[in-house]
A and B are shown apart, each in its own frame.
Chain A
Amino acid sequence: MSQRPDDFYTDLGRFGASDELRPVYERVDADARAWSATVGDETPLIAYARSLSRRSREETMRMQSQPNHPEWEMTQRLPYTNPDYQPQQRPSRLRTWVAVAAAALVVALLGGSFYLLQASRNNGTPATPTATTAQPTATPLPTATATLAAACPTISSPDKVSSYQFGDISLSIYMSGVAYPASMLPAGTPLAPFKLGPNTDAHRGLPSTPDVNPFLDSAIFVTACNASKTISHRIDGLTVRVASFVPFNGDLNSWQFCDEYYQNGQVAGGGCGGGLAYGEKLKAAFPANAGTGAVVAATLVDANTEGPLPLTRAPGQSIDMLVALTPPTALGTYRFSFSVRVDGANLPFALFTDDLLLGPARKWTGAACANPAMQSQIPVGSTDAYICPES
């Protein structure tokens, strides 16, 4: 996914953003996004911050800022050696988890032979599905299992990962880090400035679920991994089904943190962007009136670094398929399931357990608060953050 379209103009200004510079801008941008996949995991840093906060300020003041100093080694290089370090639940929607996932994919692709040695499975024959998601599902699926086969990388995502095992194929379905779903405002919210909660997370006190109108062009990943120790499999494509639909009654009001907020007399916040590393991008477009049970075949949009489907996956290899969805138009909460076609046969539909609230919504933004009619309702001198309806 590219950065927001107006970044080019924002970065260069009205007079600097000439069309002749756009190709080189996009090229550097694309390269930087590829490069970002090599950036490390921030989780140890967060653990380090926690450990700092547990120390007295005086103690941290005594820390030496010289990495080669023994004390620094003992006190500051905490994440990998200190028992304080425990993997933490990541904050939601951090875009860089994509980089982590991409790195895991790289490891899987380059180190397949190594993983082979650790693979616990050697069942290469197509089998009756034996496992399903670790998350509760709303549709009957095969028996749950807690872990994937050893040969396949574990998907690291800030959100739920719906994980399945069908014979040799491990499937993981999850939300990308640049899906940027919005939050739903409370029912009955008046069309007036709405005061956000404290800045403790991106949702600012609004509910983090369901995921409201995420950027479905770049929201859902289906990763298929060949967990066999010995047999290669061919990934042919996938189909998508509307697994469930619950209509939404009333007006949907939503705020996406990318749309900023209004505070201290100006628009602030925002900061969306980021890139995706995917193997294949497919598109699944549902008819506008499709209902529960509707099925569409995904078509290839972009064979990225992998070459187009069908693709043969050696033992331990996986393929990340970004599935761009065009959902039905009815406003309501959807769940989708995905069936991957392997070696000419369709695997059972696997449910993505995220609730997606999709459909027409009234957008709330920070910029809308600049409207005089809205400004007049914001208390003079307030330092709180507000969002306002666009219409």
Chain B
Amino acid sequence: MVADEASYVRQVSLHAAAVLRVATALVGHDDAEDAAQEALTRAWRAWGTLRDTNAARSWLLRITVNVCREWLRGSMGTSRRMMQPLPDDTQAAVLFDLYAGTSDHTGALDLRAAVRDLPGEQRLVVALRFYGGMRATEIAEALDIPPATVRTRLHRALITLRTRLQPSDGRLRSTRQAEGGW
């Protein structure tokens, strides 16, 4: 048991950025802080059940994913969106403004629309892996599915995205050309 306050604060300090990023990827910018706070509250309540602080990151992210999924189902919070890692909300518009008038803008919009159109399971894995920054093993743990299933869903999602983003000349533009070189 690691139920002391100091260890909780230390672990949250280490992993708060990941928690917030995952929450943002799943519920959008507007609700992310609220969802992340809820996740930390739950984590605090259950802190005594965590046996090994080395597992704290995965544990916190799993709680965060669960909170966000509840959020998205509308069972809590002020969720207005379905799972949209690339929300068409104000924050996204700010990001898009950075590329206004460039091919990058168009490329980003195309990609994000394609991600949003993925089947739910695939969209969730893509959101958690890329936008949430979680590792495949963490995703598997959070979703309670085998890591191989995560890889399979990711593989299928990429095949779908590749098909949908295929330009008319048959070649996928390079990352730098398409996205502005982040």
Contact = CB atoms under 8 A, between A and B. Distances in A.
A49 interface: yes
A79 interface: yes
* B-side interface size class: 35 or more
A106 B151 contact: no
Interface in A63-117: 63, 65-68, 76-79, 88, 90-91, 94-96, 106, 110
A42 B17 contact: yes
A388 B96 CA distance: 46
Given A12-B151, A23-B175, A30-B179, A76 B131 contact: no
Contacts of A305: 98-99, 104, 180-181
A11 B136 contact: yes
Nearest to B36: A45
A274 B99 CA distance: 21
Given A38-B94, A57-B45, A61-B45, A32 B130 contact: yes
Nearest to B115: A28
B151 A63 contact: no
A205 to B, nearest CB: 13
Contact of A52 (B40, B54, B86, B115): B40
B20 A39 contact: yes
Interface stretch (A13-21, A168-176, A325-333): A13-21
A10 B136 contact: yes
A42 B159 contact: no
Given A12-B151, A27-B111, A27-B175, A274 B13 contact: no
A60 B14 CA distance: 22
A28 B9 contact: no
Contacts of B21: 36, 39, 96
A49 B174 contact: no
Contacts of A67: 34, 38, 76-78
Nearest to B52: A383
A23 B136 CA distance: 19
B40 A45 contact: yes
Contact of A35 (B16, B78, B86): B86
A30 B151 contact: no
A68 B20 contact: no
Interface centre among A12, A31, A44, A202 (most CB of B within 10 A): A31
Interface centre among A49, A110, A269 (most CB of B within 10 A): A49
B172 A23 contact: yes
A61 B45 CA distance: 7
A240 B103 CA distance: 34
Contacts of A277: 182
B131 A91 contact: no
B16 A27 contact: no
B151 to A, nearest CB: 5
B116 interface: no
B38 A76 contact: yes
A63 B179 contact: no
Interface string A291-323: 000000000001011000000000000000000
Given A49-B16, A96-B17, A271-B57, A40 B33 contact: yes
B34 A45 contact: no
A268 B135 CA distance: 12
B181 A53 contact: no
A38 B14 contact: no
A42 B19 contact: yes
A37 B36 CA distance: 17
Interface centre among A34, A90, A96 (most CB of B within 10 A): A34
A20 B12 contact: no
Nearest to A385: B54
B20 A27 contact: no
Contact of B41 (A46, A52, A271, A274): A52
A209 to B, nearest CB: 19
Interface string B1-43: 0000110111111101101110010000100111011101110
A35 to B, nearest CB: 6
Nearest to B34: A67
B148 interface: yes
Given A12-B155, A21-B159, A28-B115, A49 B40 contact: yes
B54 A27 contact: no
A20 B9 contact: no
A317 to B, nearest CB: 14
Contacts of B29: 38-40
A49 B159 contact: no
Contacts of A302: 181
25 contacts: A12-B151, A28-B126, A28-B130, A32-B131, A32-B133, A34-B182, A36-B21, A40-B29, A40-B32, A45-B12, A45-B16, A45-B19, A45-B40, A46-B9, A46-B12, A49-B44, A53-B6, A53-B8, A65-B38, A67-B38, A77-B34, A96-B20, A199-B53, A302-B181, A304-B182
Given A46-B16, A268-B54, 6 more contacts: A26-B175, A27-B173, A27-B175, A53-B8, A67-B34, A263-B54
Shortest Cβ-Cβ A-B pairs, 4 listed: A53-B5, A32-B130, A49-B12, A42-B16
